[in-house]
Amino acid sequence: MEPLILIVEDNQDITKVIKYELEQAGYQVITAGDGVSGLTTARERMPSLVILDLGLPDFDGAEIARRLRKTSAVPIIVLTAMDEVDCKVSLLDAGVDDYLTKPFHLEELVARVRVQLRHRQHGEVISVGQLEIHPQKHLCLFGGHEVRLSPKEFDLLTFLARQPGRVYSREEIEHGVWNGDLPTNSNVVDVHMANMRAKFRGLDGYGLIRTVRGIGYALKTL
């Protein structure tokens, strides 16, 4: 499946040309016209990359990047009309991966998109506090120590870590990790959580996975 790209930009003309160009390059594209709907869309659709305009009607793009970065490791390319060094530094602080100053060539944007996606493909790292997950290498580190997880435990932890802090219901987890392929009232999710917790406990990782009574599970953000 083609990577999904989210464009967050209030100027519809710009959105339209970027969308067209990216679709020509073989990507799937979704769009949002302001920061709030951009954040919601990013949360719901989990795009492979976000193109973010800095001048949005509701929030400063840097603020959106910061909020996005709190819960997701998705690559972010910012489009900025400004050309000050200060601005660029604060963007990088906000967790932005790359930026382009308007006006820019569409080919340039597509090339940057390709580079970011390639980086992720080969070496995506999900970091949450002391936890580090390398999905492509099937490697999980906590405080620099390797934690040996079963393939399903690994998938489960990666699933939670992609949006740390977010509370997932058992149904969402079953759907996301087992494709909903479990018998009704199965306790497989709870059993895997318990086993995984036991592995982290010895590493001072106690409390890494939070049980939210009556709802489900979440990964602690600290």
Binding site for Ca ion (CB under 5 A): 10, 53, 55
Smallest distance, Ca ion to C-beta of residue 81, A: 8
Nearer to Ca ion, 103 or 144 (CB): 103
Q: Which residues contact 159 (CB under 8 A, 6 or more apart)?
A: 168, 173, 176, 177
Residue with tokens 């982290």: 200
- Judged by beta carbon, residue 34 or residue 124, the one nearer Ca ion is 34
Smallest distance from the beta carbon of 9 to Ca ion, in angstroms?
6
User: Beta strands of 18-174 (E only): which ranges?
Assistant: 28-32, 49-53, 76-80, 98-101, 126-128, 131-134, 139-142, 145-146, 168-169
Question: How far is 6 from 49, CA to CA, in rounded Å?
Answer: 6
CB of 16 to Ca ion, least distance (A): 14
Nearer to Ca ion, 55 or 176 (CB): 55
Is there a cis peptide before residue 103, judged by omega within 30 degrees of 0? yes
Instruction: Give the residue nearest to Ca ion (CB).
Output: 55
Of 61 and 205, nearer to Ca ion (C-beta) is 61
Backbone φ and ψ of 49, nearest 5°: -160, 150
What is the smallest separation between the CB atom of 10 and Ca ion, expressed in angstroms?
Answer: 5
